[in-house]
Structure 1
């Protein structure tokens, strides 16, 4: 029998994983009368995986419940989905003297993480040839990358940013330089 899985793509990252797993189980049991086989939280990724006992409960959680308040005290909402967005970004340090193609980055990634297949990879913007989007197929591979996000490409370090949202790099005007995005990011981060 295949695993019956529901994902939570938006868990709080400032709560201990084991504590959060218990909170989710308790909330599903008391608030929605749902028993689950297990809950596994990955705070570094901001996601949780729920192993359901049956397809009907999975369908109910995804289609009917959709979202719930995790705890009344925190006011934190969590969402239930059938699929998880696993795409991430790789940023290569400025030490690298030549620009790499997306295929070269994908190959270096595959070698560093010893994956059986090369992942689809693409450059995000011509203005930032050191930022790449990489597409994952399995959560286990993303967990591995999140555990050890740095790898080396020649003399430069590359860092994987799991499930990061770097869409602001896409479709930038051609006259954009490094200063504009850096200052915009700093403003967004409140620095």
Structure 2
């Protein structure tokens, strides 16, 4: 009977691991678990038990419903993002589905309060808001910054793909 060899994608030369580390974002974290470390342990143990994937690190932000994981290489990242895509978590109140992605968009809104102004206010342009955002967040440029509508010129929608902006 021929013997087959199954290669574990986590077994690689230790010298190359740090060069190949990758980040995978987690979306749709369950709102019922507010303890980030409990969520961390739940996701980590489920990945190990079901998919035999060991994480380098994981950070959960339950209040945002999102998190990020560091994995050993891009093969594991691709497996999570392209093949597995979603994972069920067993919770006391039932199951909850989380998803894995290569990027995570963080949407923020800036509202400039003009209610106390007696005269018309010169509102900043979206480009000026974007420039200030970059100054405040040390060069992390948002992927978009726009006024949401002409009816609400004092509200700006900013889309970022960086957790550092939080």
TM-score (norm 2): 0.73
Partner of 1:61: 80
For structure 1, which runs of at least 5 residues remain unmatched after alignment? 144-191
From the superposition, tell whether residues 25 and 117 of structure 1 become closer, same or farther in structure 2 (CA, over 3 Å): closer
Residue 58 (structure 2) pairs with residue 39 (structure 1): yes
C-alpha distance 5-110 of structure 1, shift in aligned 2 (>3 A):
closer
Contact 2:42 2:89 (8 Å CA) reproduced: yes
Q: Which residue of 2 aligns with 1:178?
A: none
- What does residue 139 of structure 1 align with? 163
Separation in 2 of the partners of 1:105 and 1:61?
36
With structure 1 as the length reference, what TM-score do the two structures score?
A: 0.64
Of 1, 6, 21, which aligns to 1:3?
21
Partner of 1:13: 31
Residues matched between the structures, number: 141
Q: Given the alignment of the two structures, is residue 116 of structure 1 paired with residue 139 of structure 2, yes or no?
A: yes
Q: Give the number of the structure whose alpha-carbon radius of gyration is greater.
A: 2
Contact 2:58 2:67 survives alignment (8 Å): yes
Backbone CA RMSD of aligned residues: 2.3
Q: Gapped runs of 5+ residues in structure 2?
A: 1-18
Of residues 89, 96, 103 in structure 2, which corresponds to 1:83? 103
Per mean C-alpha deviation after superposition, the further-off stretch among 122-131 and 91-100 is: 91-100
